[in-house]
């Protein structure tokens, strides 16, 4: 997909290798453990689950959701995918519209968290650098700006100033660095300096015009097809904007064995 080529540069790989020994991210958990964890959250902690509308994706459906406990604190926010959503996807790397799925969030999500909407981007052939991210994968964007603001982000070549206006250094998450250029209708991507190939999953930040605007688990399709479960803490921003919201500290990948639905979520919220 041409628009994604600028996503990362070849230098990215070498910087990542340098940092790769500094931090071990997360742990893989069994399918049974994932089912038990999700069931425990739903049955014991959660007062309500608020879901967004179902969206057709491939041969299945996707939707957003947020769960909130009895104290009014978010438990999880994320994406629910039926198994069919992993199949029948566009095979045209140039058809950006056919590979983009916008998921509105319930109003409760905006009231409690910084997130406005979610977007799934399907990359049928991945993107550069070669032999690292050139495998079929999904970008799961959790946007902290409106859809209108997101869609107004221009190509880097047309207006680079917004991309090159980085957030103040004091905000930056440890060991993350901004990649060159930027992607229209997304922003500038920030890479995890501890990542090392082979790529199955990684966690990305995004910025535009001086603010961090999205969080992004990036996961290969095969990882989801296999039903592999994983949970990880991700490094936090040092300053939060907006304030007076609940922000997540972990991201999770799991499949519910009872329904065969896949979940990509953020959890472990704290008040900022």
Number of C-beta neighbours around residue 102 at 10 A: 15
| Residue length of the chain | 272
pLDDT at residue 127 in the model: 75
CA distances from 230 to 21, 32, 179, 188, 250 (A): 20, 12, 26, 26, 10
Q: Which residues of 182-199 are buried (b: 16+ CB within 10 A; e: fewer)?
A: bbbbbbbbbbbbbbbeeb
Rounded Cα gap, residues 205 and 141, in angstroms:
9
Mean pLDDT for the stretch of residues 77-98: 96
Rounded Cα gap, residues 247 and 73, in angstroms:
10
How confident is the model over 200-259, as pLDDT tens digits? 999 999 999 999 999 999 999 999 999 999 999 999 999 999 999 999 999 999 999 999
Q: Which domain holds residue 125?
A: 2-271
Q: Which residue has the tokens 């994320």?
A: 78
How confident is the model over 54-78, as pLDDT tens digits? 999 999 999 999 999 999 999 999 9
Rounded Cα gap, residues 87 and 225, in angstroms:
9
Specify the number of domains making up the chain.
1
From 17-21, 133-137, 147-151, the region with the lowest mean pLDDT: 17-21
């Amino acid at each position: 997909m041409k628009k994604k080529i600028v996503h990362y540069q070849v230098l990215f790989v070498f910087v990542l290798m340098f940092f790769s020994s500094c931090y071990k991210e997360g742990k893989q958990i069994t399918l049974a453990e994932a089912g038990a964890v999700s069931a425990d959250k739903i049955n014991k902690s959660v007062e309500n689950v608020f879901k967004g509308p179902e969206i057709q994706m491939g041969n299945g459906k996707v939707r957003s959701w947020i769960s909130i406990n009895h104290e009014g604190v978010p438990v999880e926010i994320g994406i629910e995918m039926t198994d069919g959503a992993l199949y029948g996807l566009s095979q045209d790397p140039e058809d950006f519209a056919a590979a983009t799925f916008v998921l509105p969030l319930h109003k409760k999500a905006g009231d409690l968290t910084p997130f406005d909407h979610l977007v799934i981007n399907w990359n049928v052939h991945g993107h550069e650098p070669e032999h690292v991210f050139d495998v079929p994968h999904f970008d799961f964007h959790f946007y902290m700006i409106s859809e209108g603001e997101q869609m107004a982000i221009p190509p880097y070549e047309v207006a680079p100033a917004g991309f090159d206006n980085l957030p103040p250094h004091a905000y930056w998450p440890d060991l993350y660095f901004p990649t060159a250029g930027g992607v229209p209708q997304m922003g500038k991507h920030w890479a995890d300096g501890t990542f090392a190939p082979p790529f199955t999953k990684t966690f990305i930040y995004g910025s535009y015009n001086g603010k961090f605007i999205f969080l992004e688990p990036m996961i290969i399709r095969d990882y989801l097809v296999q039903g592999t479960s994983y949970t990880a803490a991700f490094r936090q921003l040092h300053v939060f904007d907006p304030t007076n919201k609940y922000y997540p500290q972990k991201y999770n990948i799991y499949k519910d064995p009872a329904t065969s639905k896949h979940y990509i979520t953020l959890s472990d919220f704290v008040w900022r």
